Structure 1
Amino acid sequence: MPTNTVNPVLAPIRRWVLYSRTNLTITIVAAFAVLFVAGSLFSHSPTATNTASAAEFPTTPTASASADADAAVDGDLTHDLTEVTESAIAGKSAAAVAESPPATAMTYAHIYVDRSLSNNEWKTKLGKHTADAPSVTVLNARPLVPVAITGPTRSESVAGIGGGSAVQVVVPTQAGDMRITLKATDSGSGSVWQVQSPLPTLDRSEVDKLGVPSLTSAPTSKSAPTPEMVTTTPAPQSTTSTDATATSTSMQEPAASTTSPSTSLERAPIPVPGPIPIPDLDTPLPGAL
């Protein structure tokens, strides 16, 4: 026969909880308090450890990205004097050509002789490759006639203005050589090659020798035909109708007079000999029997 065993631990707790609602509420609050205290004691904060690791190893992703960007900017600047032609810089951006002194000089010369730009566009594009903005003197020296660049650059290292090293690039043109001095300067986005002041220009007297390009002669307008130029093709005469011949003759004569400016009066139509033909009518003429 089974015996009813009572748990000596849970039985008193069950009787105490079920005794009243107040005891139940107190038990629930006490259980949450115990869990909160236990969590505070056995948990640990990773802030101190992470801070120490960051101080000991400062190569965080942000720092690495910044270092890579700086290295890329400084690493793209080259001191190699690789000569370029005008076609070699076509389509390149201002940042790309600023990495090389010959490319920067050729771009400056290409913009300088460009006649398709307005004055504001010309100064803006030219100023992207110069240490100082183009002045009014440079604008007044802008060529008024097309000037072609005749060859590749010629570069050499020289002493820079105000100390330091610089590069002098010669760009040959139809109006003479354009000597451009460049120096590596630190801009907002990194080190770039820039044209130093005074900004180079071409000799205006040599540019004027090229002259204004000759305009192609316009096609001569067609003048009125002279009497000698007018050729009249006789209209085929009809053998069956005499009045048709007379009509065609009278229509051709005014046309000949309009094509000949020297004739002031119209010629009278030539009379056709012979009787006037009577047309065939379905009804008789009035008064005819």
Structure 2
Amino acid sequence: MRQVFERIVADPDLHWATMNLYYYSEYHGAEGIAALARQVEATNPQLAEALVHHADDEFRHAAMIADIMTDLGDVPRPPLGIKYVDEFAALATASTDPDRIDEVELLAALNVTEKRGLFSFALHVSTLPRESKAFKLLNQVKNEEAGHVRWGNQYLAELKANGREAEVRRAQAKFEVIEKAAYETSLDIMPGAPIRRMRRIVEVARQLPAERQIPYVVEQFFRAADPRPVFGARWQLVETILSSARLREQVSADVQRILAGQPLASDSLLGRLVADARRAVESLWRPQAQAA
């Protein structure tokens, strides 16, 4: 993973695109947390106050990331494709009781997404020049995300100590599956992506009570079957290649090798994409082959 971030940081266009995804997640995540704070204000004012502070942090993080993006050459704009924060929200919301906000589930959901953010920011920061503005700002974001994770861990530990350990463990297990599904879906633009997305949805459904599993899968099927987000993500990849001089050079060199009848290098851009597509197709058909 560190090598991936090293490549990203070395290319301003890729770096901007990555920061654009961060911005979207931080800003829209902050909106979601603020909405949750309003919902629990009447029943749990202490938690509501903590969530308001949390949302303020996330809005500030979005502004700091936007500052870095401006230095990279452009302002934030809505990314194409399936966004991690949106996919997580859709999977998580449908898995919970719409008539009430469960304190345990709310905290477990927040905690698992904060851990993902901390992991990504920590890797990203480790590849930035220490004297750079991007390092200083993103390192501050990383440190504050670590504080959010500690707060969530402590709150969940207190709930366990107060006799709700079984509830906490169930919620953590469910949202870990949901978070993994959302993360993988947000990155998956290879052939067979909709089918793999449905497999992840089924895995999430298995975390629910038996009577809710089939309705959950049916509800999510109609959302996941829409191919437009995947096509949008593929077009964004094309846009990124076209906007990056370094990537254009790599693609040009790969095309010349193809025209000359030479094999693609395994570490070239098109070589990696072809290998990813091959693995995706193989994984798509492997279950049928095994069944036969």
**TM class, shorter-length:** under 0.3
TM, length-normalised to structure 2: 0.20
| Structure with the larger RCO, 1 or 2 (CA within 8 Å, 6+ apart) | 2
TM, length-normalised to structure 1: 0.20
Higher helix share: 2
Rg: which structure is higher?
1
